[in-house]
């Protein structure tokens, strides 16, 4: 797999799983888009991409759901070193967009 992702991240599954559990506990108390995105990122960075998107589909409830999912998928592809699927010139021209959300 290309980009910055390495199998080393899988060594820390317990760390990711502990964070996911804490974030889900927080989410149960009060909904936050940021909390859902953190859960998705924990799954992605621990090598569980399918589960990440399933959690996003289940947990993310804001009106901008489809746009946010496309944005996250695009950023994930960029992180992996894959070609951006976004047609927005902003994301294509900004090579250091990182994970900062609006």
Judge whether residue 99 has pLDDT over 60.
no
- 34-89 pLDDT tens trace: 999 999 999 999 989 999 999 999 999 999 999 999 999 999 999 888 876 654 44
Q: What is the pLDDT of residue 81?
A: 86
Q: Tell me the C-alpha distance between 51 and 88, whole Å.
A: 27
What does the pLDDT average to over 91-97?
46
Mind giving me the DSSP string for 2-48?
-TT--GGGGGGHHHHHHHHHHHHHHHHHS--HHHHHHHHHHHHHTT-
Mind giving me the DSSP string for 55-69?
HHHHH--STTHHHHH
What does the pLDDT average to over 10-39?
93
């Amino acid at each position: 797999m290309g980009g910055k992702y390495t199998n080393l991240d899988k060594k820390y599954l317990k760390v990711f799983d502990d964070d996911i559990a804490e974030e889900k506990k927080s989410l149960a108390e009060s909904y936050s888009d940021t909390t859902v995105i953190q859960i998705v990122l924990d799954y992605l960075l621990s090598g569980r991409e399918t589960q990440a998107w399933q959690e996003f589909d289940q947990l993310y409830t804001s009106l901008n759901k489809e746009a946010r999912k496309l944005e996250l998928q695009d950023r994930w592809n960029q992180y992996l070193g894959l070609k951006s699927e976004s047609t927005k010139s902003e994301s294509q021209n900004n090579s250091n967009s990182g994970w900062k959300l609006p």
